[in-house]
Amino acid sequence: MKQRVPQIILSVTAVLLIISAFIARPEDGNAPYVQRMLAFADQEFATWFSILTVFAFLLGGLNLVATHLVKIRDRGPDRYYSLVTLVSFVIVLVVGMAKLGGPPGLQGDVTAPGSWLSTVFDAVLSPLHATLYSLLAFYIASASYRAFRARSLESTLLLASALVVLLGRIPAGRYLTAWIPEPVAFLRVEELSLWILRVPNTAGQRALMIGIALGVIALAVRMIAGLEKDPRSGGDGS
**Contact positions vs other proteins (CB under 8 A):** 21-25, 31, 35, 49, 52-53, 56-57, 59-60, 63-64, 67, 70, 77-78, 81, 125, 128-129, 132-133, 135-136, 139-140, 142-144, 146-147, 205, 208-212, 214-223, 225, 227-229, 231-232, 234, 237-238
Would you say 151 or 232 has its CB closer to other proteins? 232
**Cβ atoms within 10 Å of 195's Cβ, excluding its own:** 14
CA max distance for the chain: 76
Would you say 49 or 179 has its CB closer to other proteins? 49
Would you say 60 or 104 has its CB closer to other proteins? 60
Tell me the closest approach of the beta carbon of residue 185 to other proteins, in angstroms.
27
Tell me the closest approach of the beta carbon of residue 6 to other proteins, in angstroms.
12
Phi, psi of 231 (to 5 degrees): -65, -25
Tell me the closest approach of the beta carbon of residue 218 to other proteins, in angstroms.
5
The residues near 15 (Cβ < 8 Å, ≥ 6 apart) are 224
Distance CA 17, CA 223 (A): 14
Would you say 167 or 180 has its CB closer to other proteins? 167
Q: Are 193 and 168 in contact (CB under 8 A)?
A: yes
- Residues in the chain, overall count: 238
Q: Are 86 and 68 in contact (CB under 8 A)?
A: yes
Would you say 180 or 224 has its CB closer to other proteins? 224
Distance CA 197, CA 23 (A): 38
Tell me the closest approach of the beta carbon of residue 196 to other proteins, in angstroms.
13
Tell me the closest approach of the beta carbon of residue 3 to other proteins, in angstroms.
12
DSSP letter (8 states) at residue 114: T
Tell me the closest approach of the beta carbon of residue 130 to other proteins, in angstroms.
9
Would you say 187 or 209 has its CB closer to other proteins? 209
Distance CA 38, CA 17 (A): 8
